[in-house]
Amino acid sequence: MSGRKSGLVTLGFVVSVSLIACAVSVLCVSCHYSRLQFELVNAICSEMVEREPETKNIIFAVLKEHTGGNPDGPAKEDVLPLLGYRISDFSGPVCGQYVLFTAAGLMTGVLLFLFTLLYRNKIEGLRIRALAEYLEQANAGKAPILSASGEDEFSRLEDEIYKTVTFLYRTRDVAVQARDDFAENLSNIAHQIKTPISVMRMMLQAEDTKENRELLAQLFRIEQYAEMALGYLRLDSDSSDFIFQEYSLDDIIRQAIHKYAAQFVRKRIRLQYEPVNITVLTDEKWLLFIIEQILSNAVKYTQEGKVTITVTKEKVLQIADTGIGIAPEDLPRIFEKGFTGYNGRADRKSTGLGLYLCKMAADRLSHQIDADSEAGKGTVFSIDLSTEKLSLL
C-alpha cells in the first residue's frame, strides 16, 4: 500500500474512533449535567420551603409553568420529588439535543469506521491480487520488477518475494547455463565417437569373416547409442531443430530399412514392405529417428519370423514384428523415461530411453504413436501421420 493510501486509512480510523468517543463523552456529560442541575434546583427549593413554608405553592406554580410538572410523582423528603418532578423534567429539551447530537456523532463514527475498514480490505485485496499475478508471471518467467510501495508489513512481504524470485531467476540461469554446457560437451564427445567408429567399420569391412561380422554388429550398437544420446540432447534442448514440409514417406522408410538391412540379414529375419507412394507433413530427420528406433527394437526382440511395414489409407504407419511381445502390465508404461519392463530386465542391456525418445519426438511432430502387443506373438507400433487440411476462405 502506498504511503498516501496508508495515511488515509489511518486517518479514517482515527477520525471514526474520535467521533465515537466524543459522542459517548457528550452523552455521559449531558446526563451528569442534568443530574447536577436537578440536585441544585432541588436544594434551593428545599431551603426556601424550609425557611418560608408558604412559598411552597409559589414554587410549585413556577416549576409547573416552566416544566409542565407532574404532581402525581412519588412522595419523598426532597421537595422536587415530593411535587412529582424528575430529572428529565429539567433536562428534557437540552438532553434531547444532546442525545440527537450523540446519535449523529455515533452513527457518523460507525459509518466512517466501516467505510475505512472496507476501503482497507479493498486495497489489500487489490494488492494480494496484484501479488498473485506477479507470482504467475514469475512462474512463466516474465516477472517485472516490483516497485517499492511503502513500509508496512505487506510491502516488506513484497520485497522478500521479489528478492526470492530474483534469486531463483539467477539460480535458474546458472543451472540452464550449466545444462547447456554439459549438453554441448556431451554432444561434442558423441560426435567425436563417430570418427573412430567409421574407421573401425572400414577396417572390419576389409575382410568378410564371421568374427568381423559380429564385431560390426556390436559397432553398429555403439553407433546407435551415440545417435540416441545426440537425439536426447536435441529433444531436451530449448532450441528448435525441426523443419516441417511434405516428404515422401517411401524415401524415409527406405533410409531406415537400408540402415538396418545388415541386421535383418545377420539374424535372418524377413522384412515385408510395399511402397505406398504418399507424402506426409513431418520432419524427415525426426520421423526417420522414430522409425529407426522401432526397427531397432523389432530386430533386437525378434528371434525368428518377420517384420512388416504397412501404411493405411488414413496415413497410419504400422510396424509389426513377430518377436517376444510385451507383457500386458508393461504395455501402458513403455513410453515412460527409463522404463525397461520385463523384457529389458531379462535382456539387461536396455536403457529405457528408445521408446521414450520416440514418444517425445512424436509429440513434437504432432504425431500420435501407440503400441499393441501380445506376449509371445509380437508387437505392432502405429504412428498416425495424418494432418487436418486447412481451407482458406
Decide: pTM greater than 0.75: no
pLDDT at 390 over 50: no
Q: Percent of the chain scored above 90 by pLDDT?
A: 23
Choose among 319, 324, 320: nearest CA to 302.
324
Provide the pLDDT confidence category of residue 201 given band limits of 50, 70 and 90: confident
Longest distance between any two alpha carbons in the chain, whole Å:
155
pLDDT at 216 over 60: yes
Angstrom distance (rounded) from CA 19 to CA 25: 10
**DSSP track, 192-211:** HHHHHHHHHHHHHHTS--HH
What is the model's pLDDT at position 97? 60
Angstrom distance (rounded) from CA 190 to CA 33: 100
Provide the pLDDT confidence category of residue 71 given band limits of 50, 70 and 90: very low
| pLDDT tens by residue, 73-131 | 433 345 556 556 565 555 555 555 666 666 666 677 677 777 777 777 787 777 788 77
Over range 128-146, report the average pLDDT.
Answer: 71
Contact 280, 249 (CB under 8 A): yes
Over range 9-24, report the average pLDDT.
Answer: 67
Highest mean pLDDT among 127-141, 201-215, 275-289: 275-289
pLDDT at 31 over 80: no
- Radius of gyration (C-alpha) of the chain in whole angstroms: 47
What is the model's pLDDT at position 81? 64
pLDDT at 155 over 80: no
Choose among 342, 331, 332, 344: nearest CA to 379.
331
For residue 352, CA distances in Å to 234, 329, 332, 347 come to: 18, 16, 14, 12
Provide the pLDDT confidence category of residue 282 given band limits of 50, 70 and 90: very high
Architecture of domain 242-393: 2-Layer Sandwich (3.30)
Angstrom distance (rounded) from CA 19 to CA 109: 5
| pLDDT tens by residue, 179-198 | 778 777 777 777 788 788 88
Q: Where are the beta strands (DSSP E) in 190-315?
A: 245-248, 270-273, 279-282, 306-311
Angstrom distance (rounded) from CA 388 to CA 386: 7
Over range 132-154, report the average pLDDT.
Answer: 66
Over range 310-326, report the average pLDDT.
Answer: 93
pLDDT, averaged across the chain: 77
The residues facing 320 across adjacent strands are 308, 380
Over range 13-22, report the average pLDDT.
Answer: 68
Over range 346-373, report the average pLDDT.
Answer: 85
Q: Establish whether domains 147-240 and 242-393 are of one fold.
A: no
Exposure string over 102-128, b if 16+ CB within 10 A, otherwise e: beebbeebeebbeebeeebeebeeebe
Worst-scoring range by mean pLDDT, 42-51, 89-98, 277-286, 376-385? 89-98
The residues facing 371 across adjacent strands are 381
Domain spans of the chain? 3-139, 147-240, 242-393
What is the model's pLDDT at position 312? 92
Residue type, 365: L
Contact 229, 186 (CB under 8 A): yes
Choose among 139, 117, 151, 164: nearest CA to 17.
117
Q: Which residue has the higher pLDDT, 346 or 50?
A: 50
Q: Which residue has the higher pLDDT, 120 or 391?
A: 120
Query: 504418399: which residue's cell?
Result: 278
Give 147-240's CATH code, choosing from 1.10.287, 3.40.50, 1.10.3470, 3.30.70.
1.10.287
What is the model's pLDDT at position 171? 87
The dihedral sign for the CA sequence 200, 206, 210, 211: negative
Q: Which residue has the higher pLDDT, 30 or 306?
A: 306
pLDDT at 19 over 60: yes
Highest mean pLDDT among 46-50, 79-83, 213-217: 213-217
Cell of 314: 488414413
What is the model's pLDDT at position 379? 94
